[in-house]
Amino acid sequence: KFTKFDGTFTVDPEAVEQASVTATVQPSSIDTGNANRDNDLKSDDFFDATKFPEINFKSKSVKQTGKDTADILGDF
């Protein structure tokens, strides 16, 4: 899990496909319960948390797939 993250989800129930999603995660905040694994994941072999202190996601499209579900496509 990541302990430092933020995001927004804006949706009108009458126009789900106009929704927008943004998310930011700080990879240095990863906590898997295993310090050695956490350090490996923070290293430049995986997230490279020193070089990339944030992982950002921004939606490009939202497609409603069911009454309470949707597919969200976007960029990291």
Q: How far apart are CA 72 and CA 4, in angstroms?
A: 22
Whole-prediction pTM: 0.82
pLDDT value, residue 56: 98
pLDDT value, residue 39: 98
pLDDT value, residue 22: 98
pLDDT value, residue 2: 98
Domains and CATH numbers, the chain: 5-66 (2.40.128.110)
pLDDT tens, N- to C-terminus, the chain (76 residues): 999 999 999 999 999 999 999 999 999 999 999 999 999 999 999 999 999 999 999 999 999 999 889 999 999 9
